[in-house]
């Protein structure tokens, strides 16, 4: 390895000896600076240094055709200073090469994980494929910035989609980065670029609470349905507050009649949860026992499997009941409303619905006008004798001795 003092003339005339692929020259003026000359005629400046394990390493500085010798020396000094401060440029480069693209990470790491516990993984797959991967897919995880996320949010808004849809995409993006940074500690991904990017305010939440009269009309319509199981599915939804999928996929083995509880193996949170079985729920199970033909109490009698959907039967029933706007999920809302209006606490309703946050329960906890009126009457009953319009005053104002006062 020849040593010499680099000059502009030397660099321009340095060559690779015949019979060799390359030759490395060492500068005696700037410590660590080397010049690699190749048979192709190309030349590159490198820094030769010793890493923390005592091994000799080479760090590429620049092609000799792109920088002057003075600039190469400056680059060399800067790199040596960084190494002296504890950095290892080659290690950093190797780490960056390990960082996957968003597309690879989402499809090869996140999606298989989501499939292992999340019933709605196919929704995530659709959001990734149609929206997130086209926007971020070719970038490595450490290349995606907060500004990229803000730009994506604004672009999505400009397409005219609802705030809740925008938020759904942002939440999935945030969750994927949380897994990469916090939970799985993917090398080379130091931050979550979605932090500080606010979700949009949602004013499109549909909260529909049915009355007891409307419920009776729905139930009567369900009993006339061609789907013989709808008359059992509907009351089970109402008296337990369970989600549609939880009822449709319930198995007989999940119900512990003796302990009066229903175990849902995989709830929306990904964990098992338990629903207490009240008297009305027990009556529904007793009634459906003579109709069910499989391990699924509310399964399709023809296939003996859970229904994939109930769109047609539900649409006909709600239209027949004169309630075409009522969604099946509104039965869950109404379960919470019935509980609140019967005097149960928000905490109890939260537990029965399986919510992890009371904020979610508050959306469902509709208090009827009748309950509010009753509360107002009871709360102010003791004031009746005091605040009686039309009656004479009970206050006696003392007359002052000085009539001029």
User: Is the backbone of residue 396 left (phi > 0), alpha (psi -120 to 50) or beta?
Assistant: beta
User: Is the backbone of residue 54 left (phi > 0), alpha (psi -120 to 50) or beta?
Assistant: left
- Domain range spanning residue 79? 3-97
Which residues are CB-neighbours of 323 under 8 A, at least 6 positions away? 210, 214, 217, 218
- Count of structural domains within the chain: 3
Residue 189 lies in a domain: no
Mean pLDDT value across the chain: 85
Element containing residue 216 per DSSP (H, E): helix 212-223
Counting residues of the chain whose pLDDT is more than 90, the rounded percentage is 53
Residue 287 lies in a domain: yes
61 and 162 co-located in one domain: no
pLDDT digits 0-9 by tens, 193-240:
999 999 988 765 566 788 889 989 999 999 999 999 999 999 999 888
DSSP helix/strand/coil, 68: coil
Q: What is the reported pTM?
A: 0.48
79 and 116 co-located in one domain: no
222 and 300 co-located in one domain: yes
pLDDT greater than 80 at residue 386: no
Determine the Cα–Cα distance for residues 146 and 86; give it in Å rounded to an integer: 28
pLDDT greater than 50 at residue 22: yes
What's the pLDDT score for residue 398?
Answer: 45
93 and 106 co-located in one domain: no
């Amino acid at each position: 390895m020849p040593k010499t003092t680099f000059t502009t003339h030397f660099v321009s005339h340095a060559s690779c000896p015949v019979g060799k692929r390359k030759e490395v020259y060492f500068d005696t003026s700037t410590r660590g600076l080397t010049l690699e000359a190749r048979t192709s005629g190309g030349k590159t400046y490198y820094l030769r240094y010793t890493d923390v394990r005592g091994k000799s390493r080479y760090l590429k500085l620049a092609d000799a055709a792109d920088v002057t010798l003075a600039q190469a020396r400056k680059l060399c000094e800067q790199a040596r200073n960084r190494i002296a401060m504890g950095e290892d440029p080659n290690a950093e480069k190797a780490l960056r090469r390990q960082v996957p693209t968003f597309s690879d990470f989402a499809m090869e790491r996140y999606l298989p994980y989501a499939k292992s516990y999340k019933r709605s993984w196919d929704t995530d797959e659709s959001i990734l494929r149609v929206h997130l991967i086209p926007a971020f897919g070719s970038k490595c995880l450490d290349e995606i910035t907060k500004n990229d996320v803000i730009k994506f949010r604004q672009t999505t808004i400009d397409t005219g989609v609802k705030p809740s849809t925008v938020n759904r995409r942002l939440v999935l993006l945030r969750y994927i980065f949380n897994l990469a940074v916090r939970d799985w500690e993917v090398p080379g991904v130091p931050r979550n670029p979605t932090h500080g990017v606010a979700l949009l305010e949602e004013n499109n939440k549909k909260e529909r609470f049915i009355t007891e009269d409307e419920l009776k009309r729905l139930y009567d319509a369900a009993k006339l349905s061609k789907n013989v199981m709808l008359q059992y599915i509907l009351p089970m939804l109402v008296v337990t507050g369970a989600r549609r999928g939880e009822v449709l996929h319930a198995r007989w083995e999940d119900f512990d009649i003796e302990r009066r509880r229903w175990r849902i193996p995989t709830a929306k949170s990904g964990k098992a949860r338990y629903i207490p079985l009240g008297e009305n729920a027990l009556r529904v199970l007793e009634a459906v026992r003579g109709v069910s033909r499989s391990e699924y109490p509310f399964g399709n009698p023809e296939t003996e499997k859970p229904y994939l959907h109930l769109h047609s039967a539900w649409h006909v029933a709600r239209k027949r009941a004169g309630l075409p706007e009522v969604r099946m999920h509104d039965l869950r809302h109404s379960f919470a409303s019935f509980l609140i209006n019967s005097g149960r606490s928000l905490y109890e309703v939260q537990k029965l619905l399986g919510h992890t946050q009371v904020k979610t329960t508050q959306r469902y906890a509709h208090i009827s006008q009748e309950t509010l009126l009753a509360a107002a009457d009871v709360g102010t009953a003791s004031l009746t004798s005091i605040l009686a319009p039309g009656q004479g005053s009970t206050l006696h104002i003392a007359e002052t001795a000085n009539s001029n006062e």
